[in-house]
Amino acid sequence: MTTTFTTGKVTLLSAGPGDLDLLTIKAAKALAAADVVLLDDLANPEIVSLAPRARVIRVGKRGGCRSTPQAFIQRLMTRYASKGLHVVRVKGGDALLFGRAGEELAALKRADIPFDIVNGISSGFAAAASLGISLTHREHCQGVTFITAHMQDHGEPDWATLAATGTTLAIYMGMSRIENLCAKLMATLPAGTPAAVVQWAGGANERRLVTTLGRLAAEAQAAQLGSPAVILVGDAIGEAEAFDAIAPRYDSRDSLAHAA
């Protein structure tokens, strides 16, 4: 008797910032077809209602909290896919931005497991939409830089160099280091530079703070804002309606003069 093994596949699925209405149609189709769902801790748990026939395994990863080891998640993906099942790895935000997708894709390639990727909305974009601003407003900046404050070697980015890029900074996983990163950014940027924190961006429990770089750390701590949150820094944040009440006379040219 010959045993035939059928290889399934893995879908790396972007769950977006939390609002299920922001899922793509492609994401909904993948969930409906899933046999196994590996659910990220930051994803809206109600997303499993779109995968009625799937076995759901929670594989949360949160900074400062007990997390499922990355190697174990990768073994689960390959194990179930090797049995011919469609595994959907649900990741918060966009799967390809700060979600260890590179490690998971490498593991799937080594195991010769077919995969596809479903893009979604990162929390940085959800935060901008919530504030009603463009991250790349051409009157204020020349682009946007997405950066994580939580580096693999436990070091930190070169904040002064990032501040000098002239881009809007969208900082992920920075709340535990907010006081230090603000101080480092102010080595290049003036204290009056517009800044914001959006916690649980795009979700039903979203919280927002719009202020200046010099006041950001103290006000975020006073408001008890924490992870998951996106920190936004740059002149483009001054377009937020809430900023008018804080610094109505702020002129973005002051920031450019300071950096020159």
The per-residue pLDDT for range 20-69, each reduced to its tens digit, is: 999 999 999 999 999 999 999 889 999 999 999 999 999 976 555 567 89
So which residues are the catalytic ones? 40, 61, 173
Q: Is the pLDDT of residue 260 over 60?
A: no
For the chain, percent of residues with pLDDT exceeding 70: 89
Q: Given pLDDT bands bounded at 50, 70 and 90, which one contains residue 247?
A: low
Q: What is the mean pLDDT of residues 138-151?
A: 91
Contacting residues for 194 by C-beta, under 8 A, at least 6 apart: 210, 212, 213, 233, 234, 235, 236, 237, 238, 240, 243, 247, 250
* Buried-state track 147-173, b at ≥16 Cβ within 10 A, e below 16: bebbeeeeeebebeebbebebbbbbbb
Look at residue 258 in the predicted model and tell me its pLDDT. 41
- Give dist(CA 61, CA 176) in Å, integer: 16
Mean pLDDT rounded to a whole number for the chain? 89
Please give the model's pTM, rounded to 2 decimal places: 0.87
- Residue 93: DSSP 8-state: B
Look at residue 66 in the predicted model and tell me its pLDDT. 62
Q: Is the pLDDT of residue 252 over 80?
A: no
| Secondary structure E strands in 183-248 | 194-199, 207-212, 229-233
Which tokens hold the place of 230? Answer: 């996106």
Q: Given pLDDT bands bounded at 50, 70 and 90, which one contains residue 256?
A: very low
Which tokens hold the place of 90? Answer: 């649900």
Look at residue 253 in the predicted model and tell me its pLDDT. 40
Q: Coil, helix or strand for 232? A: strand
* φ, ψ at 241 (rounded to 5°): -55, -35
Q: What is the mean pLDDT of residues 214-221?
A: 96
Query: SS3 helix, strand, coil % of the chain, rounded to 5?
Result: 35, 20, 45
- Give dist(CA 70, CA 234) in Å, integer: 34
123-259 has the same fold as 9-118: no
Q: Is domain 123-259 in CATH 3.30.950.10, yes or no?
A: yes
For the domain 9-118, what is the CATH superfamily, name and number? Tetrapyrrole methylase, N-terminal domain (3.40.1010.10)
Nearest-Å Rg of the Cα atoms of the chain is 20
Q: What is the mean pLDDT of residues 238-259?
A: 60
Look at residue 203 in the predicted model and tell me its pLDDT. 87
Query: How does pLDDT run across 88-104, given as a tens digit for each residue?
Result: 999 999 999 998 999 99
Look at residue 33 in the predicted model and tell me its pLDDT. 97
Q: Is the pLDDT of residue 255 over 60?
A: no
Spatial strand order in the sheet of 207-212: 144-148, 168-172, 229-233, 194-199, 207-212
Look at residue 62 in the predicted model and tell me its pLDDT. 55
Q: Which of 1-10, 108-117, 247-256 has the lowest mean pLDDT?
A: 247-256
Domain boundaries, the chain: 9-118, 123-259
Look at residue 1 in the predicted model and tell me its pLDDT. 42
Burial (0-12, 13-18, 19+ Cβ within 10 Å), 257 = exposed
Does residue 30 contact residue 38 with C-beta atoms inside 8 Å?
Answer: no
Look at residue 61 in the predicted model and tell me its pLDDT. 61
β 9-14/86-91 pair status: parallel
